[in-house]
A and B are shown apart, each in its own frame.
Chain A
Amino acid sequence: MRTADLLPLAVAVPLLGAVALVIGGRWLPRVATDALATVWAAMDVADLAWLWAGTGDGHSVSWLGGWYPRRGESVGIVLAGDRIGIGLALLTATLVLAVIVYSWRYFEEPPAQHAGTFPALILLFEAGMCGFALTGDLFDAFVFFELMGAVAYALTGYRIEDPRPVQGALIFGIVNSIGAYCSLLGIGLLYARTGELGLAQIGSALQTHRADALEVVAFVFVMTGLLVKAAVVPFHFWLPDAHSVAPTPVCMLLSGVMVELGVYGAARVYWTVFSGPHGIPHPHLRTAFVAAGVLTALVGAVMCWQQRHLKRMLAFSTVGHVGLFLAGMALLTPAGTAGVALYVAAHAGVKAALFGTTGVLLDRHGSVDEHGLHGRGRDLPLAGAMFTLGGLALAGLPPFGTALGKAVTEHAAEGRFPWLSAVFVVVSAATGGAVLRAAARIFGGAGPRPQEHYAGPETTGSGEEPEIRDPQRRIPAPMLAVPAILLCTSLAVGVLPALAGSLARAARQFTDRTAYAAAVQGHAIAPAAAVPDVGWSTEGVALALASTVLAALLAAAAIWGPALAWRGMGTARAALRAAGRSVVLPLRRLHSGHLGDYVSWLVVGVALLLLVMAA
């Protein structure tokens, strides 16, 4: 068997698994269904791990249907993976395995006669995400993008007894679909100009034209769908609404990999299609997308800090981190790409672990409200420890992979955007600090119980429908073991130099459009750029420690600050309140939960992108 044959299998295996679960779920007992799902998820992990090993530092390329290019032209679809794409698919598969194990005993009752439906949908989700990560064809990417979308809408609305999930899922579905159709319009324009659908083929055909309005508009349209999925401001409004209401295991996947796939897709499409000599110039793209990333990161951080609904807090923290990922990718250097790849891998473990631990709270206490749960988590020491550790890792505590990824990206930004380090520190400190604040209050009972006062429109998170209803039983072991293992993998990303090294070499491939195009045509060439340095540096460790300490200070200030009676505290509090009224409150009002508002913002985002890219 050739290594490249593993590419289509990464999609076919979970598809066949879903079929087996649907058919088998009718008569197999629950235990057997769960075991079947686990085996199938493990098979896909094995397939992708093998592919990762076999691909090495080059590309694996598979022309489906045997439609190999003749004289450089083909009618078929190509799957092409380097270690960035394959790594992301492997991350997806690993997280899917974790989620399936986590939800062994999670749901009270699957739909009657359809016991295998939930794991089957998870496997279909996996097929969609793997297909999207591995494809080398623009329209094929749209199809798999829609597959992961459709499954995600259904999974988000899974808890139909609760009014909020169905609403969040509907908004999620409509906003993401508009983005996808916008992308398809862009694909249509590109096809009209070039008569091609493969990424590399469109890229080389575009070079025969000068850059004009058509190319810019097609670029913006194609990007729109991807940026909606990546929840970049102002396309991000759907994300908190969906992630705060989806079942916890689904949140682990949505926040852990699906949103990041949007950033990956945007970067892949830019590099392979638009980065050529007559494409969208690098400086232009760099300015626009770094700005968008910074804006997203800051909005995510501010909103995350404001939340008391734990899942919503974690959702906004994802918005914040995705902003950082986008800014790092938009540096358009191998070093920035390698840093983001590390950051994404480590962030997935941390974020999934945090959601998993929140699921334990929801299981025990039927609430995800930071205020209402004050001190009630004291009986869950293990969950408390993991939640705290997750908060610290989110803030960038070395030697977690999040700290390494952050440090490498910051270092990559030093030349052009020296101030970007400050943004990275502030955003990771604010998101990590919010988690630490919640951890101290819930699991330690720290500080006074927060006073209830009107702080603007908010979603509290009390009175959630518990996802499991049997308070007498013990917490299922997988619900604690899986977050622990996920935190360990995040740690491993930081301490295994081999992984960082291979991602650095992969980043060099990823940012070289000539190497990609040559690999698709079947003759590998070595990329021109040097391999970026991705080790720990003193400066990186210092910045990581700074953001961790800042996070702890922020959390402490939020918990004990109001009770302090020093001189000058009154003035400080008044200043904070004024800032809240002028900046935070309007920002919170924008997150109105109104479908029409979100659609308007989407069009505004497209218009802004058009204006910026045409300028």
Chain B
Amino acid sequence: MSRTARIRLFWAAAVVFAVAYAAACTGLPRFGTLAHPYATRAVAAALHQRTANVVSSVNFDQRAFDTLGEESILFAAVLGTIVLLRHARDERTGRPRPGRVLPSTRLLGMVLLPVTLLTGVYIVAHGQLSPGGGFQGGVILATGLHLAYVAADYRVLKRIRPLAFLDAADAAGAGAFAALGLAGLVAGGAYLQNVLPLGTFGQLSSGGLVPVVNAAVGVEVGAGVIVLLAFFLDQAVEVRSPEEHGTGGGG
């Protein structure tokens, strides 16, 4: 199909799409409506489970199975990246060159690195109380580590990044979530059912399994994102492209 034909075809279809979608929107409840039956039940259930952060309660307790699936996607994406960005037979690797960094950048990085890591841990640990949780904290932890790449260089990052361990930690975090769910079955309840005491509302130890699962997710996300970025950085910094490109196949 020629480019013009393709774009015309798209526009013809897009007009139908737009009209239908707009018509559908007129049937939606008013923006800002007060009637949210599921939300009302979810808030009540979260308070009953003594979890002040209702979003965490939904993610890690009421609809924890969604999150288990989603953690598996992250786990799969890390494995997939390991496979897709492995060193091909015809690729050579080079040694990363030391980078030059401004002293002010270096200083800022050295100050920010521990602060960022601490923030990450805080966000993970308080997931059941305040905005945040395993994902958000995990991502902060992972990106915080990469301040070393900005403030120093790639070789320093490699030294403070035990990839083999992190790879296993990513798997262990994903596995811990799935295994914690089994506790409910062992205790005679349902899969992913809470088995821990609920604690006092608003305290760090409240919410039963929520903080534990949060921690597992935090480990998985933190480790997973570092491994993911490691393989991309490796491609950018170390791998030299193969000497000859494939021909593209075809008849």
* CB-CB nearest in chain A for B35: A195
B228 CB within 8 Å of chain A: no
From B73, B79, B89, B164, A113 is in contact (CB under 8 Å) with B164
Given A23-B171, A213-B26, A214-B28, A131–B83 Cβ distance below 8 Å?
no
In the bound complex, how far is the Cα of B68 from the Cα of A12, in angstroms? 9
Contact A146 B73 (CB under 8 A): yes
Residues of B within 8 A of A18 (CB): 72, 75, 79, 171, 174
**Which one of A151-159, A524-532, A533-541, A561-569 is at the interface?**
A151-159
Please give the distance in Å from A465's CB to the nearest CB on chain B. 9
B102 CB within 8 Å of chain A: no
Please give the distance in Å from B234's CB to the nearest CB on chain A. 12
Please give the distance in Å from A168's CB to the nearest CB on chain B. 10
> Quick one: which of A308-330 are within 8 Å of B by CB?
none
In the bound complex, how far is the Cα of B29 from the Cα of A238, in angstroms? 37
- Can you list, as one digit per residue, whether each of B9-20 has a CB less than 8 Å from chain A (1) or not (0)? 110111011001
Contact A66 B45 (CB under 8 A): no
- The B contact surface, by secondary structure, is helix
* CB-CB nearest in chain A for B84: A157
- The A contact surface, by secondary structure, is helix
In the bound complex, how far is the Cα of B42 from the Cα of A218, in angstroms? 24
Contact A111 B82 (CB under 8 A): yes
Contact A23 B168 (CB under 8 A): yes
A381 CB within 8 Å of chain B: no
Contact B80 A154 (CB under 8 A): yes
Residues of B within 8 A of A151 (CB): 76, 80
Given A75-B42, A212-B27, A62–B191 Cβ distance below 8 Å?
yes
> Quick one: which of B44-66 are within 8 Å of A by CB?
45, 58, 61-66
In the bound complex, how far is the Cα of B246 from the Cα of A163, in angstroms? 6
Given A19-B175, A124-B79, A160-B88, A614–B20 Cβ distance below 8 Å?
yes
Please give the distance in Å from A17's CB to the nearest CB on chain B. 10
Contact B80 A121 (CB under 8 A): yes
A39 CB within 8 Å of chain B: no
A457 CB within 8 Å of chain B: yes
Given A75-B42, A117-B83, A160-B88, A218–B1 Cβ distance below 8 Å?
no
> Quick one: which of A138-193 are within 8 Å of B by CB?
139-140, 143-144, 146-147, 150-151, 153-155, 157-158, 160-164, 166, 189, 191-193
A458 CB within 8 Å of chain B: yes
In the bound complex, how far is the Cα of B1 from the Cα of A457, in angstroms? 13
Residues of B within 8 A of A158 (CB): 83-84
Contact B174 A463 (CB under 8 A): no
A596 CB within 8 Å of chain B: yes
Residues of B within 8 A of A542 (CB): none
Contact B79 A75 (CB under 8 A): no
> Quick one: which of B220-251 are within 8 Å of A by CB?
245-251
Contact B41 A73 (CB under 8 A): yes
From A143, A154, A607, B66 is in contact (CB under 8 Å) with A143
In the bound complex, how far is the Cα of B166 from the Cα of A136, in angstroms? 35
Contact B190 A16 (CB under 8 A): no
**Which one of A253-261, A265-273, A420-428, A598-606 is at the interface?**
A598-606
* Residue with the greatest number of chain B CB neighbours at <10 A, chosen from A64, A113, A217: A64
Given A15-B175, A592-B1, A5–B185 Cβ distance below 8 Å?
yes
B182 CB within 8 Å of chain A: yes
In the bound complex, how far is the Cα of B45 from the Cα of A74, in angstroms? 10
Contact B29 A65 (CB under 8 A): no
In the bound complex, how far is the Cα of B48 from the Cα of A67, in angstroms? 12
In the bound complex, how far is the Cα of B64 from the Cα of A195, in angstroms? 19
Contact A596 B172 (CB under 8 A): no
Contact A154 B79 (CB under 8 A): yes
In the bound complex, how far is the Cα of B247 from the Cα of A73, in angstroms? 59
- Can you list, as one digit per residue, whether each of A216-241 has a CB less than 8 Å from chain B (1) or not (0)? 11101000000000000000000000
From A66, A120, A596, A604, B189 is in contact (CB under 8 Å) with A66
B110 CB within 8 Å of chain A: no
Contact B72 A128 (CB under 8 A): yes
Contact A26 B168 (CB under 8 A): yes
Given A150-B73, A212-B27, A610–B65 Cβ distance below 8 Å?
no
Contact A75 B45 (CB under 8 A): yes
In the bound complex, how far is the Cα of B76 from the Cα of A121, in angstroms? 7
A9 CB within 8 Å of chain B: yes
Given A75-B45, A140-B65, A463-B249, A193–B28 Cβ distance below 8 Å?
yes
Contact B65 A213 (CB under 8 A): no
Contact A189 B28 (CB under 8 A): yes
In the bound complex, how far is the Cα of B37 from the Cα of A131, in angstroms? 26
Please give the distance in Å from B157's CB to the nearest CB on chain A. 19
- Can you list, as one digit per residue, whether each of A359-376 has a CB less than 8 Å from chain B (1) or not (0)? 000000000000000000
Residues of A within 8 A of B174 (CB): 15, 18-19
Please give the distance in Å from A292's CB to the nearest CB on chain B. 16
From A16, A117, A217, B21 is in contact (CB under 8 Å) with A217
Contact B77 A600 (CB under 8 A): no
In the bound complex, how far is the Cα of B37 from the Cα of A166, in angstroms? 45
From A127, A212, A460, A596, B6 is in contact (CB under 8 Å) with A596
Residues of B within 8 A of A1 (CB): 185
Given A66-B190, A213-B20, A154–B76 Cβ distance below 8 Å?
yes
B96 CB within 8 Å of chain A: no
A594 CB within 8 Å of chain B: yes
Contact A604 B9 (CB under 8 A): yes
Given A127-B72, A214-B28, A117–B82 Cβ distance below 8 Å?
yes
Contact B24 A164 (CB under 8 A): no
Contact B184 A197 (CB under 8 A): no
Please give the distance in Å from A325's CB to the nearest CB on chain B. 26
Given A16-B175, A19-B175, A65–B84 Cβ distance below 8 Å?
no
A590 CB within 8 Å of chain B: yes
* CB-CB nearest in chain B for A601: B9
B69 CB within 8 Å of chain A: yes
In the bound complex, how far is the Cα of B14 from the Cα of A610, in angstroms? 11
* CB-CB nearest in chain A for B71: A15
Contact B27 A196 (CB under 8 A): no
Binding site for A on B (CB under 8 A): 1, 3, 6-7, 9-10, 12-14, 16-17, 20-21, 23-29, 35-39, 41-42, 45, 58, 61-66, 68-70, 72-73, 75-77, 79-84, 86-90, 164, 167-168, 171-172, 174-175, 178-179, 181-182, 184-185, 189-194, 245-251
6 closest A-B pairs by CB: A154-B80, A19-B175, A214-B27, A163-B246, A8-B191, A66-B193
17 A–B pairs (Cβ distance < 8 Å), ordered by A: A1-B185, A18-B75, A18-B174, A63-B190, A64-B64, A65-B191, A111-B83, A114-B83, A124-B72, A128-B72, A146-B69, A161-B89, A214-B25, A594-B1, A596-B6, A600-B10, A603-B10
Q: A22-B167, A66-B194 are in contact. List 19 more A-B contacts (CB 8 A).
A: A8-B192, A15-B175, A16-B175, A18-B174, A22-B79, A22-B168, A66-B190, A113-B164, A124-B72, A131-B69, A139-B66, A140-B65, A146-B69, A146-B73, A154-B77, A163-B247, A163-B248, A220-B20, A610-B20
